[in-house]
């Protein structure tokens, strides 16, 4: 049986602002790198640039929701994406 492909994604949180209710940072996986803004009150996730965004957007949102209260500015985090980048 063949195993599913996986890639480790790396997240770095740059800024967290409770008054504007958003978290800003960057995520990289494979040869791709994106900047993101997560507006955590309404669950809106903005990921730029658009190149490869569809590969990471859903997995990143699930990670952010799951680790919500553990994320801090300056922190580095990893999660697994079930795809090969």
Check: CB of residue 49 under 8 Å from CB of residue 24.
no
pLDDT one-digit tens code per residue, 38-57: 998 898 999 999 998 998 99
Both tokens of 10, joined, read: 């790396």
pTM here is 0.91
Check: CB of residue 5 under 8 Å from CB of residue 81.
no
Name residues of the chain where pLDDT drops below 50. none
């Amino acid at each position: 049986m063949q195993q599913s492909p996986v890639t480790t994604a790396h997240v770095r949180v740059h800024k967290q602002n409770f008054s504007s209710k958003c978290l800003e940072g960057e995520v990289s996986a494979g040869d791709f790198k994106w900047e993101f803004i997560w507006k955590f009150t309404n669950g809106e996730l903005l990921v730029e640039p658009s190149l490869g965004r569809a590969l990471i957007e859903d997995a990143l949102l699930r990670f952010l929701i799951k680790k919500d209260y553990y994320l801090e500015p300056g922190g580095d985090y990893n999660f697994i994406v079930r795809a090969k980048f």
